Amino acid sequence: MAKRIEVDVTDYSFLEAASSYKGSLLRPIDTAKLLKMCFWLEFELSRMTMGWVSSVPDWDLKGELVRLSYLHTQHMVQLRERISELPGADINDKAWTPSGLQEACQRITQAGGLIEFAAGYKFIVQKLYEQYTAFHETLDPILDGPTFDKLRYIELDKEQMLSWGIPYVKFAYVEDGQKRDAYHSWLVYIDHVWKVLEKSSSVKKIDWPDHPVLDPAGPIPLKPANDPKYPHVDLTKYKSAMFDPKSPTYDSLKHMIFINASEMSAVESLTYLYYGVQKMPVDFYLDVARHTWDEVRHSQMGVRRLKQMGYRTEDFSWHPSTAPTPETMDQVFPEFYASLTMVMEPCSFIKKRKSIGAFMKHGDPLSSIQSEYDIADERLHVGFGQKWGAKLFEHMEDFISAQNAAETVKQMHLRKMGYSQDEINKVLHSFPEFCGFATMELNYDKY
């Protein structure tokens, strides 16, 4: 009788076993380790750019930084997918950037100004793409064809990322010798930090060089920098900029366009969330990066449309962005995120749906289609809120369950708007009536 042979097709442990092979080719487990290095470097670059959004005043530059951050997360998606196919530890929900790499990037991110930040970002991006280039030279295009496919996708953004900082650093302080010397010292510091990182061992404490900047301009400054072309509303008079009757679009359908344009204030709050909250699952950061980029697009489409209509941004008052303090951080982050995704965005569907038909009726198809795309995006954001809202509360050690998180945040939102508990109780479980309390209505008949 033939001997029965049993095979466990799920046992891949032999692929992860130590090997004595010392040649130039990479084993699958080696490729996975190198991809992980790139994955965490992409993540830190994403955090760098997102963290610096509120440090710069220019509205358009804020959008550029969010876009870069989002692109880095899209590279993470590609890398993680390939890593999951290879032997070795996967990127699980508790995974986080290796401490040495995180501190090196954090030191380089803590720059004295935009020029210095741009130099640091450019330096690290160059290191990242040097690693990708080394991959191309080392990997076997047949044996590891799937990795080549992922790298080809990432290659699409190479020129944009490598060139972003050039306009800021090319003629850095050319007219100021003292600042030019300080800038040169900063470049020397960046290079020193990276060399220390490369020579470091995971089992030894790293001896970092002294940081040369006493008062970094970023990331996540205590007070967000404001673009003077977007003057702030007086919050002692109005609950938000959209309630200011001096707005040239007030009491008209066009106010929907201004509401779109003003979403940059949500963008900046999301950047504090993205950079400030540590060690959530990787998918949280991927979703928040997408959400933040969507809000940038909504702001951009609103500003573009207002300018097409003949308005200037200076004609409006804009809602200021706020930064959480160390004392309020544990509460502000989850409350803001839950309020945005469980109150403001779902409640906005009512007026946005009405505005779609109203814009068409007034012969404005572009504004109508803007609202369609806006709703499509925000349906996604509501899903993000359902996915992460309660988990964020729990992560910040504020024990609110998934079942009551939505109701809790609705109550908080209405209390902030000045409604009594009796009024809140009457409308809390009637979504249309609740949204009537929580947001403003538009005059759809007046264009």
Q: Secondary structure of 69-134 in the HEC alphabet?
A: HHHHHHHHHHHHHHHHHCCCCCCCCCCCCCHHHHHHHHHHHCCCCHHHHHHHHHHHHHHHHHHHHH
Q: What is the arithmetic mean of pLDDT over 85-91?
A: 87
- Alpha helices by DSSP H, listed for 229-364, are 255-261, 264-276, 282-308, 329-339, 345-361
Which residue in the block uniquely carries the two structure tokens 């009637």? 430
Strand partners, 318: 232
Q: What is the pLDDT of residue 431?
A: 38
**Three-state secondary-structure class, residue 232:** strand
Peptide bond into 219 cis (omega under 30): yes
The residue type of 156 is L
Give me the pLDDT at residue 126, please: 98
Alpha-carbon distance values, 277 to 141, 365, 381, 385 (Å): 39, 40, 18, 16
Residue 418 in this model has a pLDDT that exceeds 70: no
Closest CA to 50 of 216, 296, 227: 296
Task: Tell me the C-alpha distance between 49 and 219, whole Å.
Answer: 9
Check residue 172 and give its pLDDT: 97
> Measured between alpha carbons, how far is 347 from 361 in angstroms, rounded to an integer?
23
Q: What is the gyration radius of the CA atoms in the chain, in angstroms?
A: 25
Is residue 50 a contact partner of residue 66, using CB atoms and an 8 Å limit?
yes
pLDDT top residue among 182 and 10 = 182
81-85, 395-399, 424-428, 438-442, range with greatest mean pLDDT: 81-85
- Secondary-structure percent of the chain, ordered helix, strand, coil, rounded to 5: 65, 0, 35
Q: Which amino acid is at 434?
A: F
Instruction: Identify the CA nearest to 52 among candidates 168, 198, 158, 197.
Output: 168
Q: Measure the N-to-C terminal CA separation of the chain; round to a whole number of Å.
A: 89
Give the pLDDT of residue 427: 43
User: What digits encode the pLDDT tens for the residues 285-307?
Assistant: 999 999 999 999 999 999 999 99
Amino acid at 71: L
Per-residue confidence (pLDDT) for residue 217, from 0 to 100: 95
User: Given pLDDT bands bounded at 50, 70 and 90, which one contains residue 222?
Assistant: confident
What is the number of residues in the chain? 447
Confidence of residue 261 (pLDDT cuts 50, 70, 90): very high
Q: Which tens digits make up the pLDDT trace of 33-81?
A: 999 999 999 999 999 999 999 999 999 999 999 999 999 999 999 999 9
Predicted TM-score (pTM) of this structure: 0.88
Side chain identity at residue 209, one-letter code = P
At 132-161, the pLDDT tens digits run 999 988 999 999 999 999 999 999 999 999
Inter-residue contact 305 to 367 (CB < 8 Å): yes
Q: With a cut of 50, say whether residue 429 has pLDDT above it.
A: no
pLDDT at residue 124 greater than cutoff 80: yes
Task: Kindly tell me if the per-residue pLDDT of 430 is higher than 50.
Answer: no
Residue with tokens 């569907």: 349
Contacts of 372-381 with C-beta under 8 Å, sequence gap 24+, read 373/301, 374/260, 374/298, 374/301, 375/349, 377/294, 377/297, 377/298, 378/294, 378/345, 378/346, 378/348, 378/349, 378/352, 380/290, 380/291, 380/294, 381/291, 381/294, 381/340, 381/341, 381/345
Q: Is 29 exposed, middle or buried (0-12, 13-18, 19+ CB in 10 A)?
A: middle
Q: What's the whole-number mean pLDDT along residues 323-341?
A: 71
Choose among 310, 324, 128: nearest CA to 222.
Answer: 324
The whole-chain average pLDDT of the chain stands at 86
Q: What's the pLDDT band for 436 if we cut at 50, 70, 90?
A: very low
Task: Look at residue 323 in the predicted model and tell me its pLDDT.
Answer: 76
Return the percentage of the chain with pLDDT > 70, whole number: 82
Q: How far apart are CA 315 and CA 304, in angstroms?
A: 14
370-405 residue pLDDT tens: 999 999 998 898 888 888 887 887 776 544 444 444
